[in-house]
């Protein structure tokens, strides 16, 4: 008797089971908010996190803990994922600071900051060309910021000076232009 497609002795069935096992194991490596452990491969960008204990530093460190979280349009929690402004909204809320929800609204909130005076926790805003602000990141210090870029990249760290990041190990240049920075907390 020959093994059919639904028969457990079928080579196709064995390949399907192997695929299910591999995908299940891979799913175990996805970001777990409770563990506070970034899930994706480590950022190719080494960042020295701030240690001064300021509220801005605490916000920057909390944002860094979201490294590897998925990008979800409209997302504002680790469980569901983040968009760029949702990440900023979430980490500020955790520290008792309410900021607007969208990047455009956030870009008008707080005090303008000169680029050479950036501190951890400051919000960095970007736009495409001469257009309105459409992206936000959180300055970590050490020439780096964290942001939720897109569904392929998720939450990742980017060098501020070069706008270069390494999503999934591949160099990637941020397509938006730096617009301005705002400080929400002292």
Q: 95, 135, 179, 180: which is the annotated catalytic residue? A: 135
Give the pairing of strands 144-148 and 155-159.
antiparallel
Return the closest-CA partner of residue 76 out of 85, 66, 63: 85
- End-to-end C-alpha distance for the chain, whole angstroms: 77
Q: Please confirm, yes or no, whether 28 is among the known catalytic residues.
A: no
Q: Please confirm, yes or no, whether 147 is among the known catalytic residues.
A: yes
Return the closest-CA partner of residue 85 out of 51, 111, 109: 109
Q: 28, 84, 179, 180: which is the annotated catalytic residue? A: 84
Q: 28, 95, 147, 180: which is the annotated catalytic residue? A: 147
For Cα atoms 100, 125, 186, give the angle at the middle one, nearest 5 degrees: 65
> Which residues are registered as beta bridge partners of 164?
173
Active site residues per annotation: 84, 135, 147
């Amino acid at each position: 008797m020959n093994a059919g497609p639904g028969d457990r002795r079928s080579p196709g069935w064995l390949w399907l089971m192997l695929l299910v096992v591999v995908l299940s194991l891979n799913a175990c490596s996805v970001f777990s908010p409770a563990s506070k452990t970034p899930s994706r491969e480590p950022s190719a960008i080494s960042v020295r996190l701030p240690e001064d204990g300021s509220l801005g530093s605490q916000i920057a460190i909390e944002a860094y803990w979201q490294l590897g979280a998925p990008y979800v349009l409209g997302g504002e929690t680790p469980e569901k994922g983040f968009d760029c402004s949702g990440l900023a909204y979430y980490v500020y809320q955790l520290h008792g600071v309410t900021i607007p929800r969208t990047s455009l609204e956030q870009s008008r909130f707080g005090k303008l900051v000169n680029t050479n005076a950036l501190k951890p926790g400051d919000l960095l805003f970007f736009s495409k060309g001469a257009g309105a602000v459409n992206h936000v990141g959180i300055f970590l210090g050490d020439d780096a910021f964290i942001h939720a870029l897109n569904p392929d990249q998720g939450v990742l760290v980017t060098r501020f000076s070069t706008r270069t990041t390494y999503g999934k190990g591949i160099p990637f240049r941020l397509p938006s232009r730096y617009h301005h920075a705002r400080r929400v907390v002292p």
